[in-house]
Chains A and B, each alone.
Chain A
Amino acid sequence: MPDIVRRPFFSIIALVIAIFALAPLWGNDVDLRESLVLAAVYITLASNLNLMLGYTGYVNFGSVVFFGLGGYICVWLVSAHDWPLGWSLLAAGLGVSALAFVFGAGILRLRGHFFALATIGIVEAVQAFASNFDPWGGASGIYLSTEVFAPLGGPRRALWVIYFAMIAVMGLSLYLSYAIKTSKFGLGLLAIGQNEDAAAILGVPTPRYKALVYSASAFLPAIAGGLYFFKSAFIQPTDAFDLTLSTEAIVIAMLGGQGTVTGVAFGAYLYEQLRGYLLTSDTFSHFQLVIAGALLLIIVLFFPSGLMGWLYARFPRLQRVLE
């Protein structure tokens, strides 16, 4: 894709990645690093979710299932089979993508609404499975001993390595979003999103494209999950398959502007700020959902194109530079 490299947006993404990478290094700021890891997770989940949501218009309520399954596969390979982290991450990514392709082919026969409901069902079912599957520790989950950090140079250094790996995953997600959007595959996806039947008649191989994008949207979140739970050295069903996370990813994608690449980064930043500001005490932790819900309702009712949509309407020239 040499053409893409020359476009300005490519450099903008590179700049964002650089900022993420360098900021905590300045003064060895561990707190900043930890909050940026979380931001990177959100951006990864939201931009991969956007591949389906923004382009084909199919909403995947259960995108967290990729994150959780990726986490489980990685942690299990590391703890039960002594695999090195790198290979476990790759296996997690490929494994979850393959599963997504197979399941996707089935549930993507459902149109709009029903696909969305099925994705909620998948999370419920996979969570139930993980809670009962003994090799994965059932409801208690899997613990990693600190020895697993040894190959990375010890626990403190490992956290930095994982941080940079997460930034890389985030960057790849943004690039993937951009690459797809500007490709023939992306045009086909957009056509599906506008009018699926007309797209099929025009020659877009709709079932295959939908399954491919669903599968593609699973790969990086799975790796992110692997990194995240490896870092926590602990994974259990309720954390791994928390619907709140995919909900927040949806809010972020919609807030920023579905179908835009920049929107996701902005949306994540805004949402993080909002959330941090409101989570002042424990009693408000459940209100996290209320805020997310109210915000989403307002966006859907009054600002369906999100922040970037609003900006593009005001400043059309922006669209030539940003995506």
Chain B
Amino acid sequence: MLGFIASVIDGVLVGLVYGLAAMGITLIWGVMDVINLTHGTMIVAGMFALYLLTSAFGISPYVTLLPALAGGFVVGVALYWIAVHRMVGRPPLMSLLSTFSVNLVLIGVATGVWGTVLFNVEVSVPGLTLGRYTFPGVHIVAAVLAAVIAAGLYFFLRRTRLGKAVRAVANNREAAELVGVPTTQVLSVAFGFGVSLACVSGVLIGTLFPFTILTGDSYLLKSFIVTVLGGFGNPVGALIGGLALGVLEGAVTPFVPVSWTLVIEFVLFVLVLIAFPGGVFMRRSRAL
């Protein structure tokens, strides 16, 4: 029984990181009604940044968060101008296909260069031992950092001018434009942040689990599940959804081989969707 609880608590920790990852998708969706299908690949990019920077320069893994944040932002803005700008306002099919096609190119190039080899980054952080159970230090650090970054995003959206502009555009783009908000720039910035959130969460996940170029898809799916659980377009909901998913994983892994987890998650996800078509927490609430 205690082992079960420990697993669940561990799930909460990992869940916070999932929540952070999901915020990337949910921010972009909330602001411009576009699903960024490069999201999974951007998470992997973060993982790669972690791997390359630590192995090439030997710097501390957590320091790589900064280049990941900055680099992700730049890539995000570029992505916006290449694939998304002309798609805003068009039917969802078009923006889906455009981000999808960019994703294909990225994966194609990446697998061409690096292959489908498994990468693992060794991060040693002392764990926390309570009784017979040790919570891996990396999990704790990752969870704390995720919470900090999430808080940072919340602060940005609520307290800074740019953040308010983002929320204005999310709420009603035409009205925002009428009051003088430079909507196109705001959209590109929002996209940039969405991608940098993906990269940053990628760095954190990279400290927890091994990865290949292709694991991006499963994290895309997890982010999507989290978004559905937490309500589309709502970053706080994303965090809660992440926790829910983490708890679910923690509750299930002691009993079931790891490879079944995805199946279970997905089946539950479909069931949740059938019961709550708009997401569990809010019916399309743009509570940015």
A: which residues have CB within 8 A of B? 53, 57-59, 61, 103, 106-107, 109-114, 116-118, 120-122, 124-125, 128-129, 131-132, 243, 247, 250, 254, 283, 286-297, 300-301, 304
Contact = CB atoms under 8 A, between A and B. Distances in A.
A57 B90 CA distance: 12
Contact of A118 (B101, B103, B273): B273
Interface residues of B, number: 48
Contact of A300 (B98, B106, B259): B98
B218 A124 contact: yes
Contacts of A106: 270-271, 273-274
B281 interface: no
A110 B108 CA distance: 29
Contacts of A290: 104-105, 108-109, 112
Contact of A294 (B101, B269, B270): B101
B55 interface: no
**Most-contacted residue by chain A among B86, B87, B96, B102 (CB, 10 A):** B96
Contacts of A111: 92
Interface stretch (B11-19, B196-204, B246-254, B260-268): B260-268
A289 B108 contact: yes
A293 B103 contact: yes
A131 B98 CA distance: 31
Contact of A61 (B34, B100, B228): B100
A258 B232 CA distance: 29
A289 B104 contact: yes
A107 B102 contact: no
B257 interface: yes
Nearest to B40: A120
B269 A121 contact: yes
B221 A124 contact: yes
Contacts of A292: 101, 104, 108
B35 interface: yes
Nearest to B218: A124
9 contacts: A57-B91, A57-B93, A61-B100, A107-B273, A112-B91, A132-B257, A132-B263, A291-B108, A296-B100
B224 interface: yes
A208 to B, nearest CB: 15
B11 to A, nearest CB: 19
Contact of A125 (B220, B262, B274): B262
Given A118-B270, A121-B221, A296-B97, 12 more contacts: A112-B93, A112-B96, A118-B269, A124-B217, A124-B218, A128-B262, A132-B259, A247-B100, A289-B104, A294-B101, A297-B98, A300-B98
B111 interface: yes
A80 B220 CA distance: 36
A301 B90 CA distance: 11
Contacts of B105: 289-290, 293-294, 297
Contacts of A57: 91-93
B126 interface: no
Contacts of A291: 108
Nearest to A113: B35
A207 to B, nearest CB: 11
A157 B246 CA distance: 54
Contacts of B210: none
A132 B101 CA distance: 31
A304 B97 CA distance: 10
B273 A110 contact: yes
Contact of A114 (B83, B97, B109, B228): B228
B176 interface: no
Given A120-B221, A121-B266, A287-B112, A112 B273 contact: no
A293 B97 contact: no
Contacts of B86: 301
A300 B104 CA distance: 14
A295 B102 CA distance: 10
B96 A286 contact: no
Contacts of B103: 293
A287 B228 CA distance: 33
A296 B259 contact: no
B282 to A, nearest CB: 15
B140 interface: no
